[in-house]
Structure 1
Amino acid sequence: MKKNKFLTKCFFFYVIILFNNIYAQNKLFKYDLEYKSNQKKDSIILKKMVLDIKDVSISIFRTEQQKISDSLIAFTGLGSERDMTFESQFYVKKDMSKDEILKSIETIFREIFFIKIDEKFDWEILPEKNKIVNFNVQKAKINYGGRSWTAWFTTEIPIQDGPYVFKGLPGLIVKISDDKGNYNFNLTEIKNGNDKVYYRNKGLDLTWDQYKKLLENYYTDPFARIKSMGIPVKKDDGHGGMVSVDMKQESDGLRKMIRENNNPIELNHKIDYK
């Protein structure tokens, strides 16, 4: 895992001053997510993530592109960036007033689903302290999703939140990683947020069992709906023309990609694709 990336000490000193007026406006925290989509390989995927804090009680964690897409949808009805697989989606909404955490996924047809996270966040706060850039941080541990996690949080930022589903420590989570080195979240930047925060707020609720069934059906025939519509599918031939898509070849390729990138963050809900 490559070295953590943080801003300069001068920047973070400025950030601490900003937090003297923390409740006056929305905040935005940027994180680097480095993870292994295949735990048997050394290759690392880097995703630029953002945590929007809206009106103190609502937070949205997603990629930078998903944040842009949510804004486009709000204004035009059209968004961007759709993942072809579900295991690589990390969109989470937290409502602190309801003590509710929702993991959201989106299909290639822009269907939105929400899964309620019911696991208890029983943190073990340890006496060990450290300094990340010029934040004083303290160590904590937790088990979530079939993984053991170590976090470093700072009470200098009085927000009991963090990346992805993680929350409930007496300060912002600056860094959190699992003990196998498969997932690593690092805070990289803090900014004042926009007055308006656009995010997914409509969709169908799923249980984990229903989510599993959705993924299994998708793996069995990824383009079933497209084929059922009888619409001819074409793609760029690389020379300015269009050629028909071999749907069997495309499906086989996607199933192979799903099998080879099957290291979900919720390891306890992993599907053994054949």
Structure 2
Amino acid sequence: MRYFIFSLQLFLCINFVHSQTSQNLYKILYDIKYLVDTNKSEVLNEQGVLFVEKNKSYFLTKTADQRDSIFHFNNRPIDYHANIKSKVLRVVKNHDNRSIFHYVQFLPGPMFNTTEEMDSLNWNILTDTMTIYNYKCQKASLEYRGNTWWAWFALDLPIADGPYKFCGLPGLIIKMENLKGNWSFDLSSISIEKNRFLNLSFLEKSKQVSYQELLKESDSWKYNRIERVEATGMIKYEPNERLNFIKLNLERIKKENNDIEVGLMHY
């Protein structure tokens, strides 16, 4: 733990200004924990990474990175029946125009994106403080799409960013959790990726929709998953097989009920 704290302080003090004018990226890792089923105690562990370059950033989960590598870069088929419980989260933030771009893909199908303003995140900065990794952190609260969130940010880490869509506080978000206790993000490490560019070209092919349209698409995928797979022509189910998959899908919907944004699936 001491090594992490020392390297983090040295990294920020020496390299922050330099990295803003070079090809270097911040690579900020978060440990993510969440309940798959809010009626049970099973906790899923996931890793998220936040890349920060000048005034832009890209957050994604390890599952999203693996799926994108298979589907978008290697052109390999996806197993549509795989029991994937991990969340596929992809978010790009542009701090110049203060926009948040959210990318969601319901396979089989195209990738969609929605846009919202950073100023729509109505933070309430509180007076509570706590020391995390030897940094004095301040507490903030946020009501966002069905969840109340608590965030701890460090003023000494001058990056107004954090996991998922969360950003806009006067310091890097070190720790974040929702009031229900079924979602949490904890900073695990920060490093520099030298002379690296993010290849986000595959996101340019996404279809821009409103948030309400995205919710409708989520419901369509949730309840018509089998029909959508058959519509590709890649798979044709026998009657008994089809009924079995429909039953399994309905069971999955009941069990996997802990969306980071209520009503919006991320698979």
- Please, what TM-score do these two structures have when normalized by structure 1? 0.81
The answer on 1:22 being equivalent to 2:23 is no
Query: Aligned to 2:65, which of 64, 67, 75?
Result: 67
Residue 203 of structure 1 aligns with which residue? 206
For the residues of structure 2 that align with 1:134 and 1:204, how far apart are their CA atoms?
Answer: 43
For the residues of structure 2 that align with 1:84 and 1:209, how far apart are their CA atoms?
Answer: 27
Residue 246 of structure 2 aligns with which residue? 251
Give, in angstroms, the shift of residue 230 of structure 1: 4.5
Residue 156 of structure 1 aligns with which residue? 156
SS at match of 1:109: coil
Residue 11 of structure 1 aligns with which residue? 4
Give, in angstroms, the shift of residue 81 of structure 1: 9.0
- Please, what TM-score do these two structures have when normalized by structure 2? 0.83
Residue 88 of structure 1 aligns with which residue? 87
Which segment drifts farther, 251-260 or 60-69? 60-69
Tell me, yes or no, if the aligned pair for 2:57 and 2:94 is still in contact at 8 Å. Answer: yes
Change (3 A) 1:192 1:135: same
Change (3 A) 1:18 1:38: same
The C-alpha deviation readout for 1:65-101, integer Å capped at 9, x for no partner, is: 4335546777645597988789933221111112111
For the residues of structure 1 that align with 2:84 and 2:214, how far apart are their CA atoms?
Answer: 13
SS at match of 2:197: coil
For the residues of structure 1 that align with 2:67 and 2:264, how far apart are their CA atoms?
Answer: 28
Give, in angstroms, the shift of residue 133 of structure 1: 2.0
Residue 184 of structure 2 aligns with which residue? 184
The C-alpha deviation readout for 1:224-265, integer Å capped at 9, x for no partner, is: 23323554458xxxxxxxx99912211221222022212211
For the residues of structure 2 that align with 1:87 and 1:68, how far apart are their CA atoms?
Answer: 11
Tell me, yes or no, if the aligned pair for 2:63 and 2:87 is still in contact at 8 Å. Answer: no
For the residues of structure 2 that align with 1:143 and 1:223, how far apart are their CA atoms?
Answer: 35
For the residues of structure 2 that align with 1:80 and 1:17, how far apart are their CA atoms?
Answer: 42
Query: Aligned to 1:212, which of 215, 218, 233?
Result: 215
The answer on 1:57 being equivalent to 2:60 is no
Give, in angstroms, the shift of residue 201 of structure 1: 3.4
Residue 124 of structure 2 aligns with which residue? 124
Which segment drifts farther, 258-267 or 148-157? 258-267
Tell me, yes or no, if the aligned pair for 2:174 and 2:186 is still in contact at 8 Å. Answer: yes
For the residues of structure 2 that align with 1:122 and 1:47, how far apart are their CA atoms?
Answer: 27
Aligned length, in residue pairs: 254
Which segment drifts farther, 65-74 or 215-224? 65-74
Change (3 A) 1:153 1:232: closer
Q: Quote the RMSD (CA, aligned, Å).
A: 3.0
Change (3 A) 1:71 1:17: farther
Residue 34 of structure 1 aligns with which residue? 33
Give, in angstroms, the shift of residue 188 of structure 1: 0.6
Which segment drifts farther, 30-39 or 167-176? 30-39
Residue 263 of structure 1 aligns with which residue? 258
Tell me, yes or no, if the aligned pair for 1:141 and 1:150 is still in contact at 8 Å. Answer: yes
SS at match of 1:117: strand
SS at match of 1:15: helix
Opposite residue 220 of structure 2, the aligned amino acid is: N
Opposite residue 94 of structure 2, the aligned amino acid is: D
For the residues of structure 1 that align with 2:139 and 2:254, how far apart are their CA atoms?
Answer: 35
Tell me, yes or no, if the aligned pair for 2:154 and 2:174 is still in contact at 8 Å. Answer: yes
Opposite residue 37 of structure 2, the aligned amino acid is: N
Change (3 A) 1:171 1:78: farther
For the residues of structure 1 that align with 2:10 and 2:252, how far apart are their CA atoms?
Answer: 46
